Amino acid sequence: GQNIDQPTEMTATEGAIVQINCTYQTSGFNGLFWYQQHAGEAPTFLSYNVLDGLEEKGRFSSFLSRSKGYSYLLLKELQMKDSASYLCAVQTGANNLFFGTGTRLTVIP
Amino acid sequence: DTGVSQNPRHKITKRGQNVTFRCDPISEHNRLYWYRQTLGQGPEFLTYFQNEAQLEKSRLLSDRFSAERPKGSFSTLEIQRTEQGDSAMYLCASSFRGGNTDTQYFGPGTRLTVL
C-alpha cells in the first residue's frame, strides 16, 4: 500500500523557524511536492524535489532523502499569513499525486 | 496567464440529482486532473487526461462518475444520482508534460453539498 505521514498540527511563533516533516512509502516515485492550502482555498505549489538535497526558495526550503523516504519543509521568518495547511505529495509512477493528510500550522504572535 | 478556473464554485443539490462541474485549465497545459478533498484530508486522485485522452481512473471513481475533455481543453466531471457521501470539494489541476517536472496547478475548486 501507499502511505504518507505528516504531523497533524503544529504551532509556531511569528518570526521563528518551523520544520514540517513528511515520511512516505509509495509504489513509485517521480518527485515530491509541497503545497500550501489556506482554509477553503485550493492548494498552491510551494516546492518540488526529485533529487536528494535541499531546494531553497526565499523563506521556504525543502529537503529530500529518497533512501530514507523522508522530506521536510522549512519555513523561516514566519508570518501570520503562513498559517495554513501544508500538504506533502508524491508523484507516483502513474504521474498523479498521492497526498498526505496535511499539517495544519498555526502561527501565533 | 489566468490560472485554472472552475465553475460553479458552490453547488447544493438533493440526493439523487445529477450535477456537472467544469474546469478550464491553464492554456497550453496538456494534462488535466480531477481530485476530491474532504474536510481534514488531502486531495484524492480521481482521474487525469493527457490532451483529450483519459489515461487513468482511480478506483474511487464509481460508475456514477464520468469525466470528459472533448477537445483537449476544458473538462467536465459529472456525478449521476448523487449521494450524501459525494459531498466534498472537487479540485481540478493542470500541468504541462515536458522537461523534468510536471508541476500541477490547482483551481479554486467546486464545493458540492448533497442534502
Tens-place pLDDT, residues B75-92 = 999 999 999 999 999 999
User: Measured between alpha carbons, how far is B80 from A72 in angstroms, rounded to an integer?
Assistant: 40
The whole-number average pLDDT for the span A5-33 is: 95
Cell numbers describing residue B73: 481543453
A9 touches chain B (CB under 8 A): no
Contact B43 A94 (CB under 8 A): no
In the prediction, which pLDDT does A40 show?
86
pLDDT tier for residue B100 given thresholds of 50, 70 and 90: low
Quickly tell me which residue has 523561516 as its cell. A76
- Give the torsion sign (CA, A49, B107, B13, B62): negative
For residues B91, A46, B104 and B82, what is the CA-based torsion angle, rounded to 10 degrees?
-10
User: Measured between alpha carbons, how far is A16 from A37 in angstroms, rounded to an integer?
Assistant: 20
Beta bridge partners, B3, equal none
In the prediction, which pLDDT does B61 show?
84
Q: Which amino acid is at A36?
A: Q
Cell numbers describing residue A108: 501565533
Contacts of B106 in chain A (CB under 8 A): 35, 42-44
Cα–Cα nearest to B33, from A90, B5, B25, A104: B25
What's the Cα-to-Cα distance from B69 to each of B53, B79, B92, rounded to whole Å? 7, 15, 12
Find which of B31, B59, B101, B104 to mutate to test the A interface (most A CBs within 10 Å of its CB): B104
Smallest Cα distance from A79 to chain B, Å: 23
Tens-place pLDDT, residues B23-62: 999 998 999 999 999 998 999 999 999 999 999 888 888 8
Cβ-Cβ contacts under 8 Å for B28 (sequence gap 6 or more)? B96
Contact B42 A45 (CB under 8 A): no
Tens-place pLDDT, residues B19-31: 999 999 999 899 9
Contact B43 A50 (CB under 8 A): no
B91 touches chain A (CB under 8 A): yes
Cell numbers describing residue A20: 514540517
| Strand pairing category for B75-79 and B65-68 | antiparallel
Identify whether the C-beta of residue B87 lies closer than 8 Å to the C-beta of residue B112.
Answer: yes
User: Measured between alpha carbons, how far is B11 from B74 in angstroms, rounded to an integer?
Assistant: 19
Contact B103 A48 (CB under 8 A): yes
Q: What angle do CA B58, B59, B63 make, to 5 degrees?
A: 100
Contact B105 A30 (CB under 8 A): no
Contacts of A95 in chain B (CB under 8 A): 31, 48, 56, 102
Smallest Cα distance from A17 to chain B, Å: 24
